[in-house]
Structure 1
């Protein structure tokens, strides 16, 4: 009897600690409301302000698709003269990883400062020999939330950003990972699709700041001086701002951005995202957009095309609700579509590392660029149209009658969606 009471007491203490930790770490997640009739191109300053950022004018942006991305970055790394700053989530040992490591090693031996920020969970299979070679050559390599007792409470918080800054004068942001399946041109199930952007202009200073956040937090090294943050002249006419801040106990800015632009859209919202699991508030916002006459379409991989079918099943759980609200859903069965893209009204775009789910919105460290540029939005919509031709639109009536087994799997994986 005494032993049972001790056991119950111990379990009660554990339960209390869990509640206390949750209450400390939770953030405010309000039901977002937008009352504004202005077009999205008149609201760039507002979107930047509510996401704790500032619009930056005078930039150029070039879209880079699929495996060509690695040809470009390897060329630009080879041209680096002062520093290369690289941050990514997923790096697996293979042809691509070793080729990139060789490029870093070559520059480090030439006196270029190479700083590499990797997520400890996503990059644990990069290869011990590759890591040793990088460090032996003088590259500084740090791991975000390295597995240790000290980090026990934050192991589920991952650095999911994909970011490169070279000499403080050019940058790359997008979804590309350092895994061999990202090579090629999405021609089959062994070669994935993805998008990144190549940036010049004053925005690069902001992206250097994004890199420095996690680098300084882990290494203690402050990146200060004109070598890191040079005065950058105009490189074009594109206005954009980075969204990445995750204030303690407040709604994350990336979630605010995505939900707000859904509420502002007037003509269309086209989304390409590999892990699409909107919460009820976002689904209601999509439905309200459809009622306003907005064409809402989502393109994603099917379970057969995904690298993580569990996530697709979790997303399936709310497909019926989305289609009842008038959202058109398309699944691509041929390979993984990994691009994280959203365009609004053919003039505004969001592109970066962010998945459309609460793991990305609320837990991960992410980077999304909000870009006002009709040409880029047109290019992104063109990518959508290219892949949607071979995708399968989901029919609401057929979906309602999918097997009980399919429904059970969907609901089961939805329960664990925050841990994938």
Structure 2
């Protein structure tokens, strides 16, 4: 597919203004598939733009997990605590029902993506009907499976794909200082009566422009219809007013998985890219411990490929159990000469990978059991062919983050990491993380 461009938007202060401008310029459709959408200052800022566009006649559809947002997600993002400490925000950031009600009052269609597999989709599309059947047969309980995708499409021409949700930890206007611990930085801002007194995550999106936006929207349509939405068909592409944004890229292929007991296409594209790498692999991801992925990374390192892996440190990881699972793999990775770094001071929630400075994978997928097994969550990633784009990720993410990370040395792997194997200690949780 030719004519596509991509722009890597690392961290909220780079993502938010670009996203708000794109939303404000929408003329036909806005489709949002978001795992979490908080009723906090950033959520309300996005809401304001969406409502203004709805008043202008733009058709807007939003998929969001209302239950998990109200929870702050199953393992707690700290959203509720963070907003309670903001003296300028009196509302309940977790009240996503109020947010959804306001959006619907402006004619915006909002569906809860917290899955109900008993639904029969209202569509004549035999492919979607078959998907619904497979998902219903595969899923053991609705709550164990979530739509974890983060995708936005605008006018059939622009698409965002990445790891950030809609909320103050993910998207913001004031950049954080990677050299200062997140909570300490937030306390300083709060005491100085500064803006955005929140602890901020290292996160982001990739912005795509071109024909691939319609491919992203096709995946949104599938999920929308399966969750009970109207089958609106294919979106119309609205031409751009002004010059295009981003760098030209080569082939882009989208890979998705869902709980349907079929091969996991997201896992397979990662394994293929790792196996084919000849010179270098870089991965930054908050949860890296799925068995096949770890083994393939070790095999690549043993055949002489430079493998750099950046993950969160325990203090800042939002999921201690996942950190245990990941640290348990450290000895194996280090024995194979994989370079493992733990990002300090802020939680890195980025999900990016490059291979031989030529291929990149970006999207919502973690490298854990939930995202990489055959029958768990809904995920979506983009495989991008472009040396310039891959080198940009290496420069803006890998080379920028290593100085703020601690390299894990073979002789310093803690006792905790060596003895706590979640596959044997907490087997019942394997399907839930």
Instruction: Pick the TM interval, shorter chain.
Output: 0.7 to 0.9
* Counterparts of 1:412 and 1:75, CA distance in 2: 48
Q: Does 1:269 align with 2:281?
A: yes
Q: Which runs of 5+ in 2 are unaligned?
A: 71-93, 120-138, 183-198
What do you get for the CA RMSD once the two structures are aligned?
2.5
C-alpha offsets along residues 137-180 of structure 1, whole Å, 9 cap, x if unaligned?
11100011357987972221111111111111111111111121
Give the deviation of 1:309 after TM superposition: 2.5
C-alpha offsets along residues 247-303 of structure 1, whole Å, 9 cap, x if unaligned?
833221001101111110000111000111131x33332222122210011101111
Could you tell me which of 230, 239, 256 is aligned with 2:237? 230
Per the alignment, residue 131 of structure 2 pairs with: none
Could you tell me which of 27, 52, 64 is aligned with 1:106? 52
Per the alignment, residue 103 of structure 2 pairs with: 134
Per the alignment, residue 356 of structure 1 pairs with: 367
Compared CA separation, residues 192 and 80, structure 1 to 2 (3 A): same
Normalized against structure 2, the TM-score is what? 0.77
User: What SS does the corresponding residue of 2:254 show, helix, strand or coil?
Assistant: strand
* Counterparts of 1:384 and 1:413, CA distance in 2: 32
Larger Rg: 1
* Counterparts of 1:355 and 1:231, CA distance in 2: 33
Alignment of 1:283-294 (within 5 A): 283-294=294-305
Give the deviation of 1:89 after TM superposition: 0.6
C-alpha offsets along residues 361-384 of structure 1, whole Å, 9 cap, x if unaligned?
231111100000111111111111
Alignment of 1:212-251 (within 5 A): 212-225=221-234, 228-230=235-237, 236-246=248-258, 248-251=260-263
Could you tell me which of 347, 356, 381 is aligned with 2:358? 347
Consecutive aligned runs of 4 or more in structure 1 exceeding 6 Å deviation: 147-152, 231-235
* Counterparts of 2:109 and 2:349, CA distance in 1: 28
Give the deviation of 1:191 after TM superposition: 1.2
Per the alignment, residue 398 of structure 2 pairs with: 384
Point out the more displaced range, 145-154 or 75-84: 145-154
C-alpha offsets along residues 4-50 of structure 1, whole Å, 9 cap, x if unaligned?
xxxxxxxxxxxxxxxxxxxxxxxxxxxxxxxxxxxxxxxxxxxxxxx
Compared CA separation, residues 148 and 94, structure 1 to 2 (3 A): farther
Alignment length, in residue pairs? 360
Give the deviation of 1:419 after TM superposition: 1.2
Q: Which runs of 5+ in 1 are unaligned?
A: 1-55
Compared CA separation, residues 126 and 315, structure 1 to 2 (3 A): farther
Alignment of 1:316-327 (within 5 A): 316-327=327-338
* Counterparts of 1:251 and 1:148, CA distance in 2: 20
2:162 and 2:205 in contact (8 A); partners too: yes
Q: Does 1:195 align with 2:204?
A: yes
Compared CA separation, residues 59 and 284, structure 1 to 2 (3 A): same
Give the deviation of 1:120 after TM superposition: 3.8
* Counterparts of 1:294 and 1:414, CA distance in 2: 33
* Counterparts of 2:430 and 2:344, CA distance in 1: 21
Per the alignment, residue 214 of structure 2 pairs with: 205
Q: Does 1:95 align with 2:41?
A: yes
Per the alignment, residue 195 of structure 2 pairs with: none
Normalized against structure 1, the TM-score is what? 0.80
